[in-house]
Amino acid sequence: MRRLVISLTVVGLVLLVLAQAVLWHGRSLFAEPDVEVVTSVTEALNAQRIVLVFAHPDDEITATELISRAVEEGAFVATITATRGEAGTQFPEIVAQEHLGVVREGELRRHGYVLGLDEQVVLGLPDGGVPESMSEDALANRVLEELVRLEADAVVTFHPPSGVSLHEDHMAIGRAALAATQDYARQRGEPVTLAYTLVSRPGTRRFGGERYARVADLQPDPTFALDIDTSLKTRAWRIHASQAAYLRATTGVPAWLLYQLWTQEYYAVRTIEP
């Protein structure tokens, strides 16, 4: 019996070591090499008033770690979301499609509440039609109005040429946020930090197919990384109930497993001068 217990203990230790080795290898497939990992968001962005500008409800999941840390550090944090997500596909279907915009805006606002956001702005532009909804100048001016009102000193948005997924709405709101930040810096007469939220280039090149390989090719190099709290990401997908199975449906990998491998958020930062 004693030998059996010892044998089982040894087997358990071997399996544990193997599991850790597999996990380490999986994480290495997603990690961006030689990127500085920071702990303070306000220092990395040189900001105390941070405004995130995205296209759809659930886009803010790309930045849960940044938002959470900024809130913990006492910064003012707000989001601007262009659409209500009414044209999205449901994963799983939980409501009649004609009511999806109401539901997704509710999911967005609930997620913002639990993250501790100070303000959430929803512009109400047509989902899937942001580029056609108004001219680029008009959209930039609408974002500028909110940056001025919110007194932002850092703006976080999508990288315009890649938009995280080549989604036209993402790229349009990224262009608008860039133009608005440039105008805002000139009006303010002071530099403003602009940060782009990025995907893991190694991970998307390996597992994202042709589309995400293109995204990876278009992205700039990350300036810094944040180690993520996995529970923030998985909680976010639970709150966005109409999209809760999105990752499994589109990648074949459930959220809980993906974030055991993709363990960092990446950002490219630039300073917009007046």
Domain ranges of the chain: 34-272
User: Rounded distance, CA 242 to CA 222, Å?
Assistant: 31
Cα dihedral value 196, 234, 93, 162, nearest 10:
20
DSSP 124: E
DSSP 37: B
Q: Is the pTM of this model over 0.85?
A: yes
What is the pLDDT at residue 18? 56
H helical segments located in 83-167 = 100-115, 130-133, 136-150, 163-166
CA 174 to chain centre: 13
Query: What average pLDDT score do residues 118-128 get?
Result: 98
Kindly report the CATH class assigned to 34-272. Answer: alpha beta
C-beta of residue 149 within 8 angstroms of C-beta of residue 187? no
User: Rounded distance, CA 192 to CA 266, Å?
Assistant: 19
Cis peptide before 92 (omega within 30 of 0): yes
Query: What average pLDDT score do residues 36-45 get?
Result: 98
Share of the chain above pLDDT 70, in %: 91
pLDDT for residue 70 is more than 80: yes
Q: What are phi and psi of 40, to 5 degrees?
A: -105, 120
pLDDT for residue 243 is more than 80: yes
Strands 76-83, 49-54: parallel, antiparallel or unpaired by DSSP?
Answer: parallel
Q: How confident is the model at residue 1 (pLDDT cuts 50, 70, 90)?
A: low
C-beta of residue 185 within 8 angstroms of C-beta of residue 272? yes
Instruction: Report, in this order, helix, strand and coil percent for the chain, each rounded to 5.
Output: 55, 15, 25
